[in-house]
Amino acid sequence: MKLNFKSEKKQIENDSRVKSKHLSWVSYAFTYFVLLVLAAGQSLILAEYIEFEKVPAEFIWGMLGYWAIVTAIFALITTRQKILVFDKPMRKLSQAAKEVAKGDFSVYLEPAHSADKLDYVDVMFEDFNKMVEELGSIETLKNDFIANVSHEIKTPLSIIKSYTMALKKEDLSPQLRNEYADTVITASENLTALVTNILKLNKLENQEIVPVTEPYDLCRQLADCALVFEEAWEKKNIEFSADMDDRAMIRADEGMLEIVWHNLLSNALKFTEPGGKITLTQTSEEDSVTVSISDTGCGMDEQTMKHIFDKFYQGDTSRSSEGNGLGLALSLRVIELVGGSISAKSEPGKGSTFTVNLHIEP
């Protein structure tokens, strides 16, 4: 949205906070006095060659009037330049800031000059436009977050309500009663996991959790995390292989990194079809250690890859009931806090590989 300068000028002029104007009688009188002093200096030089006693009074009054006109012209020219160069852009910026404060993030300020002739005001406009764009993105993310949280919480609550009401039926068979109870328990666990992950992510993003770094064996941790899913991958007849060092000592927050390995292994298991394969690889360098988790699952297209670390994003909606879309966002934040990096490679139908690189502290 581009702003109309005439309307914004009228609004700013009516702004009760504006107490002074660029052109006033005080500034005019001061300029007139300065120019008269300069003219007096010239008169002192001329006094060496002219007898001022013979100068008529009309001439002196005429000169005073002349300098009054010169002052007026000078003041008008400088004020006009100030309005064009400073006042007009600042009015635009002021009105744009008001619109943004009201929640309008479509505001755009057009630079006055072409790209090869930008001045400081034009650069300020460009920076303002970038700021508004970022604020708009943040507002969109906030709205999406609220909508997603509401949806994710509403779903298990609806399940719990429906099946709890069904459990009140007196003619319900023991088998159905147990199935309904299991459904309520599963929905409650999903809701608990969702709230727990939201709280964890919020604390991580607000840096309320400070990593406690201690030396420990990363290979042991990876093996322990993998064994947690042993029953699950055997049930799906998934081949699991691991290629790791006997030992890899790192200095990091063991509890926080456990969140990452758990989420990556859980995702690999979730998206790998029965009979597929999951591979866990760990390699060590002199100053870093790399962990890769690959699967032969459905893979992801380019559009999905752009959003996999976004909160609540789930590329494969057919498996949305198995998660809440916070795992990778949580993993990314943990890796950033411990000073590492995480990346992903994937192709539709060819599986995915997530790679985590951690710096080894001395």
Question: Does residue 242 sit in the same domain as residue 106?
Answer: no
User: Any idea what the CATH number is for the domain that residue 196 is in?
Assistant: 1.10.287.130
Does residue 122 sit within a domain?
A: no
SS3 string, 176-192, reads HHHHHHHHHHHHHHHHH
Total tally of structural domains belonging to the chain: 3
Return contacts of 63-68, CB within 8 angstroms, 24+ apart.
63/39, 64/36, 67/32, 67/35, 67/36, 67/39, 68/32
Final residue belonging to a domain, choices 55, 81, 110: 110
Q: What is the pLDDT of residues 227-246, one digit of tens each?
A: 888 888 888 899 999 999 88
Q: What is the pLDDT of residues 154-202, one digit of tens each?
A: 777 888 888 888 888 888 888 888 888 888 888 887 788 667 766 766 6
Higher pLDDT, 28 or 254: 254
Is the pLDDT score of 97 beyond 80? yes
Does residue 139 sit within a domain?
A: no
User: Any idea what the CATH number is for the domain that residue 276 is in?
Assistant: 3.30.565.10
Final residue belonging to a domain, choices 60, 83, 110: 110
Is the pLDDT score of 316 beyond 60? no
Does residue 337 sit within a domain?
A: yes
Portion of the chain with pLDDT greater than 70, in percent: 76
Is the pLDDT score of 355 beyond 90? yes
Question: Does residue 225 sit in the same domain as residue 179?
Answer: no
Q: Are 276 and 268 in contact (CB under 8 A)?
A: no
Portion of the chain with pLDDT greater than 90, in percent: 10
Identify the band that residue 290 occupies on the pLDDT scale cut at 50, 70 and 90: very high
Does residue 106 sit within a domain?
A: yes
The residue segments making up the domain with residue 12 are 5-110
Q: What is the pLDDT of residues 59-94, one digit of tens each?
A: 777 777 877 888 788 877 877 777 777 778 888 888
Does residue 315 sit within a domain?
A: yes
Is the pTM higher than 0.85? The answer reads no
> Angle at which helices 88-101 and 120-167 pack, to 10 degrees?
0
Question: Does residue 271 sit in the same domain as residue 237?
Answer: yes
